[in-house]
A and B are shown apart, each in its own frame.
Chain A
Amino acid sequence: GNSVTQMEGPVTLSEEAFLTINCTYTATGYPSLFWYVQYPGEGLQLLLKATKADDKGSNKGFEATYRKETTSFHLEKGSVQVSDSAVYFCALSDRRNTGNQFYFGTGTSLTVIP
């Protein structure tokens, strides 16, 4: 079946530190992969996505590369800011095999301190 395993948090970093949040997936088909971000008290916002192997999604300094060989989609940012403090969710969608359903990881809480 389909599932997403995400690095557990919480993660606390100093401003300008390097960020990696690990995400691995299991899928029966050809999934698209996503990172969503949730700021306190809000819904989820799409951060970036990749639809096929070796694609790199990027946005706001965040990057993630779709690695089929390692079934991973790790989120990285070279220099985090206080405003990046949020909960990050890795997700996959495999429409071919499971219709429209999305599968989410458990979320990783990031706190960036000045």
Chain B
Amino acid sequence: GAVVSQHPSRVICKSGTSVKIECRSLDFQATTMFWYRQFPKQSLMLMATSNEGSKATYEQGVEKDKFLINHASLTLSTLTVTSAHPEDSSFYICSARWQGISPLHFGNGTRLTVT
């Protein structure tokens, strides 16, 4: 089946630094990639939708200058958390789909801890 690789799986950073998370579709071209944030024991909160070669569409309440998303190719999207703060600590999950009504394929997530 389709594989989405997300890296790193865990990262600890100091407050004020930036962290980049990569999401790669390994065996298909992802026309659309999504970034979610998941709080403990809660569902996924969609942060933004990105289509290859165009600007990401952010959900209401998500700061686009803080969560920078780049979808430079059909197999790679990155999320950069800029000037991270402890409240940004969370589980971030990317997902990708090929086209049409194909299912979402998820990465294994990144546990971000900001100290």
Contacts and interface: CB of A to CB of B under 8 A. Distances in A.
Interface of A: 32, 34, 36, 41-46, 49, 51, 89, 91, 93, 95, 99-102, 104-107, 109
Top 7 closest A-B pairs, CB basis?
Answer: A43-B106, A44-B106, A43-B108, A106-B43, A43-B109, A100-B32, A46-B103
Contacts of B44: 44, 89, 104
A47 to B, nearest CB: 10
Interface residues of B, number: 24
B74 interface: no
A19 B87 CA distance: 37
Given A102-B34, A104-B43, A105-B43, A42 B109 contact: yes
B43 A42 contact: no
Main SS class of interface, A: strand
13 contacts: A34-B104, A43-B108, A44-B106, A46-B103, A46-B105, A51-B101, A89-B44, A95-B101, A101-B49, A104-B43, A105-B43, A107-B41, A107-B43
Max chain B CB contacts within 10 Å: which of A36, A46, A100? A100
A106 B43 CA distance: 4
